[in-house]
Amino acid sequence: MLTPLNRNVSKHALTFDIEEHFQVSAFWTSERREQWDTLESRVERNTLRIADILDSRAVKATFFVLGWIAERHPQLVKALAQRGHEIASHGYGHELVSRQTPEEFRQDIRRSKDILEDLTGTKVRGYRAPSFSITSGAFEILVEEGYQYDSSVNGRFRRSCIAAGRSGSSYRIRTSAGVLLEVCPSTISTCGVQLPVGGGGYFRLLPYSATRMLLKRLESQGSRLVIYLHPWELDPAQPRMKGALLSRARHYLNLNKTEDGLKRLLHDFEFGPIAEDLHAWEESSIGPRQTPATSFQITPYA
């Protein structure tokens, strides 16, 4: 039996990375990228399905949208904004930041930001790197390009949450261009290792009852949750892509369970967009402001 929402807890962050089913890094090849415009697009129907589910619970969320998607589905972006959701940037072409030069990265995030702001008439404040592929040099460029926060540092499978000390928290990164707020996707510490619990394939891997238990533990410890999902994760009928066996197994795992899990999540926790409560995220940020000293390395799957 589901328990009611705890209205005494600050809103957690519910986020969606808006990309096509064929754009995930696990299936990336230069040949496939050239085929993107010829492959079946399913992002609009899947994202609107998410929006309808959120409407049924009167919940608003943050949608990190690819500029490539926004160019081809401008009405989708406008519809999300009109429904009261935050529109943030997922970059333009789903290029891994770790594979871009600084100038390529700058042009990518500038292009995406311009497209999204032109469509919505609203300032884009946040950014999330494709597959969480952020690097230390990217933070200064984000500040220079007018971004206020990033949500790309995912401490999964690390000995400690990067520069934060606990999962699902926020902290400030000081750069020569100014301060950037980092809002970490949720992980939970077990035996000194940060285990992913709040999104993507990891959300689909565990039974919802186990996910809920772990998220409630984080909530009881004072962490604000940061959950992320993709529209293709609610689409078990999507075309199957060719790729490595492990990549296909992780991508298509339990797609038929995501929608029910999302609905239960909305019942058990209170969510809102990151920007709606940005001041509170800044106030709750932990640790001193700091300049990142190392590049963050990722696993090639989100």
User: How far is Cα 205 from Cα 261, in angstroms, rounded to an integer?
Assistant: 11
Q: Given this model, what pLDDT does residue 289 score?
A: 45
User: How far is Cα 160 from Cα 140, in angstroms, rounded to an integer?
Assistant: 23
Expressed as residue numbers, the domain containing 49 is 12-283
Query: Which are the contacts of 81, defined by CB distance < 8 A and separation ≥ 6?
Result: 87, 119, 120, 122
Q: Given this model, what pLDDT does residue 284 score?
A: 72
- Whether 134 is covered by a domain: the verdict is yes
- Whether 161 is covered by a domain: the verdict is yes
- Whether 3 is covered by a domain: the verdict is no
Q: CA 135 → CA 129, 141, 177, 267, distances in Å?
A: 9, 11, 16, 35
Percent composition of the chain: helix, strand, coil (DSSP 3-state, to 5):
40, 15, 45
- Whether 298 is covered by a domain: the verdict is no
Q: Given this model, what pLDDT does residue 196 score?
A: 81
Number of domains in the chain: 1
Please report, in tens digits, the pLDDT of each residue of the chain (302 residues total). Answer: 223 333 344 689 999 999 999 998 878 777 888 899 999 999 999 999 999 999 999 999 999 999 999 999 999 999 999 999 999 999 999 999 999 999 999 999 999 999 999 999 999 999 999 999 999 999 999 999 999 999 998 765 444 444 333 444 788 999 999 999 999 899 887 777 778 888 888 899 899 999 999 999 999 988 899 999 999 999 999 999 888 888 888 889 999 999 999 999 999 999 999 999 888 888 776 554 444 434 443 333 34
Give the pTM.
0.89
Q: Given this model, what pLDDT does residue 8 score?
A: 43
- Whether 267 is covered by a domain: the verdict is yes
Domain at 211, CATH number: 3.20.20.370
- Whether 4 is covered by a domain: the verdict is no
- Whether 265 is covered by a domain: the verdict is yes
Which is nearest to 155 in space by CA: 163, 145, 147? 163
Q: Given this model, what pLDDT does residue 296 score?
A: 41
- Whether 142 is covered by a domain: the verdict is yes
- The rounded Cα 117 to chain-centroid distance in angstroms is 19
